[in-house]
């Protein structure tokens, strides 16, 4: 880790957004909000800037990054689209969907972004602030979630500051992220494949394609973020499908199970997704083991359960 640097806090004014874009184009690290979570951005064509992402997050270099662009024309300059990818892009971009596509030659995308592979995880965010920053930067921006690697994702600027202050150059504060979980990721190596559940429900994607999404082969190399077994993890241990708290546990509720904090008292999965990382941050700060009420495995519940399963997975430390 490099010596601590001063992390500048920026707002979401036009001047701040322009400054963030200039900083990114100049090789700096800037955290900014999207509709899903806060991302830690760097110029995806700048090897040194991208390397700083891995250093700041403590992220393993074999874990690829998502590149963000402002529009489909920019995406088509970087990657080749097949029929299924085009259909999904037309239906869900801009939005909480990432497509892993063959990288075109001579794009200048850093090999660190693709973890040395020949495919690129690509997204067009819907957030007005993110769009403004991408336009101001004038470059594709690699932006994993703005948190220390493997830990709880950031849905507010305060979360980013708590985890990365002194490691990055600036943070844009534009309030909480409305979706609250990362993008859904689809790959196409052997047909349309769900690589990570996320902010676009699987049912909507399958309806658009007119077919069921495939699941990735076991032990396949990582082609996108969010595929590590232990990820999105608080410091405390996590127990799932809890109907009540055991002695000494902090209970996160859902629906009729109230808990110390609740993801949604009305069992609304949209509300639960938006609250997930915020509530995990609250629970982690208490310092007790965490128990989480059952969440339905439908719609956005698939993404919520994916994050919770990874948060509860065995870890090395």
Assigned CATH topology for domain 238-312:
Rossmann fold (3.40.50)
Positive or negative torsion for Cα 298, 195, 218, 222: negative
pLDDT in tens, 37-57: 999 999 999 999 998 998 899
Q: Where are the domains of the chain?
A: 8-209, 238-312
User: Do you find a cis peptide bond into 253, omega within 30 degrees of 0?
Assistant: no
DSSP state of 165: T
Q: Which of 56, 53, 83, 82 is nearest to 68 (CA)?
A: 53
Residue 149's pLDDT band, with cuts at 50, 70 and 90, is confident
Task: Show the CA angle centred on residue 43, arms to residues 131 and 31, nearest 5°.
Answer: 60
C-alpha to C-alpha distance for 89 and 55, rounded to whole angstroms: 32
Report the SS3 class of residue 146: coil
C-alpha to C-alpha distance for 81 and 151, rounded to whole angstroms: 33
Give the chain's mean pLDDT: 92
pLDDT (mean) for 141-162: 94
Which tokens go with 157?
């600027």
What are the E-state strand segments in the chain?
A: 8-10, 30-33, 38-43, 66-68, 97-102, 119-123, 141-142, 170-172, 184-187, 193-196, 238-239, 250-254, 257-259, 261-262, 290-292
pLDDT in tens, 182-196: 999 999 998 999 999
pLDDT in tens, 262-299: 999 999 998 998 899 899 999 999 999 999 999 999 98
pLDDT recorded at residue 232: 65
Which helix (H) or strand (E) segment is 134 a member of?
A: helix 128-137
C-alpha to C-alpha distance for 180 and 104, rounded to whole angstroms: 31
Q: What is the pTM of this model?
A: 0.84
CATH 3.20.20.70 fits 8-209, yes or no: no
Residue 30's pLDDT band, with cuts at 50, 70 and 90, is very high
The total number of residues written for the chain in this structure:
317
Q: How many CA atoms lie within 13 A of 147 on its CB side?
A: 22
Q: Which residues of 24-38 are buried (b: 16+ CB within 10 A; e: fewer)?
A: bbeebbbbbbbbbbb
pLDDT recorded at residue 115: 83
Which tokens go with 96?
């909480």
pLDDT recorded at residue 230: 54
Cβ atoms of 294 and 312 within 8 Å: the answer is: no
- Whether the per-residue pLDDT at 122 is higher than 70: the answer is yes
Residue 1's pLDDT band, with cuts at 50, 70 and 90, is very low
C-alpha to C-alpha distance for 253 and 174, rounded to whole angstroms: 28
- Whether the per-residue pLDDT at 3 is higher than 70: the answer is no
Cβ atoms of 252 and 291 within 8 Å: the answer is: yes
pLDDT recorded at residue 190: 87
Report the SS3 class of residue 51: helix
Chain-centroid distance of CA 200 in Å reads: 13
Cβ atoms of 272 and 263 within 8 Å: the answer is: yes
- Whether the per-residue pLDDT at 310 is higher than 90: the answer is no
């Amino acid at each position: 880790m490099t010596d601590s640097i001063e992390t500048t806090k920026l707002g979401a004014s036009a001047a701040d957004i322009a400054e963030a874009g200039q900083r990114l184009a100049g090789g700096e690290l800037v955290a900014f909000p999207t509709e899903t979570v806060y991302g830690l951005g760097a110029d995806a064509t700048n090897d040194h800037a991208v390397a700083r992402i891995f250093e700041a997050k403590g992220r393993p270099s074999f874990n690829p990054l998502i590149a963000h662009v402002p529009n489909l024309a920019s995406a088509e300059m970087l990657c080749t689209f097949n029929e299924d990818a085009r259909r999904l892009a037309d239906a869900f971009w801009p939005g909480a969907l990432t497509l892993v596509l063959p990288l075109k030659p001579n794009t200048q995308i850093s090999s660190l972004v693709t973890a040395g592979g020949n495919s690129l995880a690509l997204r067009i965010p819907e957030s007005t602030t993110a769009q403004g920053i991408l336009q101001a930067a004038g470059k594709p921006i690699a932006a994993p979630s703005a948190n220390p690697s493997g830990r709880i994702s950031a849905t507010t600027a305060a979360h980013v500051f708590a985890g990365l202050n002194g490691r990055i150059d600036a943070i844009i504060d534009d309030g909480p992220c409305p979706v609250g979980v990362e993008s859904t990721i689809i790959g196409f190596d052997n047909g349309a494949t769900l690589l990570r559940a996320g902010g676009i429900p699987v049912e909507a994607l399958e309806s658009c394609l007119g077919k069921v999404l495939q699941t990735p082969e076991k032990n396949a190399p990582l082609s996108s973020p969010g595929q590590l077994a232990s990820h999105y993890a608080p410091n405390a241990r996590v127990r799932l499908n809890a109907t009540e708290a055991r002695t000494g546990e902090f209970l996160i509720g859902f629906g009729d199970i109230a808990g110390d904090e609740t993801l949604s008292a009305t069992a609304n999965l949209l509300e639960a997704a938006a609250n997930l990382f915020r509530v995990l941050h609250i629970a982690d700060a208490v310092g007790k083991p965490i128990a989480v009420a059952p969440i339905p495995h439908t719609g956005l519940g698939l993404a919520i359960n994916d994050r919770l399963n990874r948060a509860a997975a065995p870890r090395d430390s």
